[in-house]
Chain A
Amino acid sequence: MTDFRRSVLRPSLRTGLIFGGVALFLTLVGIIEVFSEREVIDGVVSMSYTVLWLVMGGAGYSAAARYKAERRYLLGGVSGAIAGLVTAVLLGILVVLGTAVNLRSVLVNATPALMRLLTFGQSTGVGVVLLLAAGAIVGLLGGLLKMVPERVRRPLLTGVAGVLVISVLHELIAVLFKSLGFPRGFIRFLFARKGLTPAGALISFVLLASLSVLWPIARSRVNQRVSSLPPRQRRSVRLLTFIALLAFLLFIPDLFQLYWTDVIDNVGLFILMGLGLNIVVGFAGLLDLGYVAFFAIGAYVTGLLTSPASSLGWGLSFWVAWPVAMVVGALAGVLLGIPVLRMRGDYLAIVTLGFGEIIRVLANSDLLKPYIGGAQGILQIPKPSIAGIQLITSQQLYYLILLGCLVAIFVSWRLSDSRVGRAWIAMREDEDVAQAMGINLIKYKLLAFAIGATFSAMSGAIFATKLSSIFPHSFNLLISINVLSLIIVGGMASIPGVIVGALILVGLPEVLREFAEYRLLMYGALLVIMMLVRPEGFWPAARRRLELREDGLEIAGGET
């Protein structure tokens, strides 16, 4: 019995307490209640319960992990059930406390609605018992899931994850299906107003589960096929995929309609900024926290030059202002780069942060108000026009952003493997050695700052014309941190990583609109978790993945 206590009870309790803490946190921050508005499977399970089940199941899953190698199925299941139960117990305590005492005066989210949600609408006693039972069962399932062999677990997990993702994206997919000409009845069959229909969920599950089985086979076959082709045909295959991708990108505004194109535009602006910061941080290793300054400079230059209401009042065309904004951005990059040439790491980060804040405070101050409008900003920035047609809607502006992104991707891609790119990487790894190898640090650092600033100014210019008005408070530190987060989440120094990061960090909160309030909380948590668990990002650059995994950098294996 003491053996059972030591080897099963105590570790399961520990896991349960950790996951219970997570569950309590999510509940009290308000995420669970906010998610009750959103159904995963219409009429069956809402997003709030899904999150709760995921946490409880996760507790079981990770509690069972220690018995996996010994294949002690029973112990795994029991341990999972205990962990899930403990998680539920913590929530149960919250329910009991919340109904007995008024927690709301301190914890604003401990509302009666939340208590009803946690007790499944039953009375407190019955509800808590139900909650505990649910915790034990879900924990048991999670534990068993860990114990089953990989070939069973993988399709199951992919299927569940797939249902979740499709349900979150259901509005987007429904719009896509509609523009592709699927009949309305078919879309209704799959998607309800707030989530998937049960039939849709079943279909998604089966589809993705079977895909996860078939995909590895299919991929290896296609790869074999392609690599057995003669070089010239191989190149044409690559060219064809590229053209197909480009065609898809060109048709996005037609496929996704107005609202979603606006979201995609925002993602595009962040991709553009991310590509710039990726050069500064990812390639050259210079952590710049004042990056938003260049975005602001691009926007302000555009505003000043094009708006008839600005202090200059020139009212130039966007096509003149855009390159000017980029040049001014590059100059500002060099100008702010010179003083920080000798700084490294932490100090550089703090100084650039200081620069960014100085620029924001100045833009906001009465001192510069006669020139750049102070807190009122600059209004009436005109839209760009091509051959007499004004680009007004976000669908039209999309092409401008796409153009900017493609140019930036091309430049980054060509730079990454060039002499300049290698010099940056050398510099990132060790400045002193790089200098000893004959790399001109001043030149390459300034070059990195200038190119990064150019991309950011480019993005800022489009931002200004897209919004038609700019205010200093749109250029706060959080933008810099946002861009930094997206390149870290995507994978430093990786170009596809920037795109993935922007889609996750900028696109996802727009899709999960209830969640938008928690996006900064999510960024913070993601930054910490990524650094602890996966410092190379979701889509790492090949070189960086090797670096971080090779030299015994046991970040993931460290004690947590």
Chain B
Amino acid sequence: MDLATLLPFIVNVIVGGLVLGFVYAIIALGYTMVYGVLQLINFAHSEVFVTGAIVGYEVFRVLAPNPMNGYLKLLLALLAAMTVSGVLNVLIERLAYRPLRNAPRLVPLITAIGVSLILQDVLRVIEGFQGRFDLTYILPESFGTRFCAAQSSCAALGNVLRTIGIDLQVKDVILIVVALLSLGGLNYLVNRTRLGKAIRAVAQDRVTAGLMGIDADRMISMTFLIGGALGGISGVLFGLKVGTVNAYSGFDPGIVAFTAAVLGGIGSIPGAVLGGLVLGVIQNLIGVTNIFGQILGSANLQAIDASYQRIGAFLVLVLILIFKPTGLLGKSNVEKV
């Protein structure tokens, strides 16, 4: 094992982790935004995300015979998923959380888990009526090709990237671009617009914001709409990356993304993104520890393979929370007296 083979391998592992990390990051935003305004962990977010993935699948399926441009299909899939997931998230808040706003903290939490389970089976029934369970994305041919393939105009760049171990497909690049655009859009919305200011005000102190003339209920709905739309985007990205989704696909990424949100500091938007990326990369690095074990000749490290990925991610979470209880970018909450 020399450096010339090992370096591309390590780069490959890190890049793979980053690509998935972007998906986790966008899902984590949904958890973190809702927590920011309501101090509620919206466990139904994993199903809001799967709804987006399924809507995206349906758009690609319906448009499959249509010869239109693949990127246009993607745009339509993203818009449809954002709309459906956003509206769904608003409805969940109206029906399940708003009536419980003044209940003890545990009540909405259990409700959220209940909503999550109900949605799973509703989604399964909807697809089941059409005799479908595992939904495999029918993507435009070009999405599956190598990024800057040998015959394309940017082949030189592609060759350089592949030499150092960055071997991406077009759809991976699409995923990263869409994720970055979503992050940019959200950042602008939250920090540069009146709506964002109002949402931040409600997150800071709902009562005072209300006294200043901000309609807190409306802002909370808007937060759920934005969080849901992001969930929809992440669903389509997940579908691009993984290729197959079903009504129950949300659980695993949901747990990981929630972990990412906590790792970054729950309630912090940049924290959620950082947490997602860090978790994606850490998971992958833990998954290949045994290779380093072979190189270093350490039997202990050789035993750590992909089966430790998830455990390792949670171990990292625990370690970070021991040293920084608020998460990587979380702000400590001063108890109001």
Chains A and B are bound partners: no
Residues of A within 8 A of B (CB): none
Residues of B within 8 A of A (CB): none
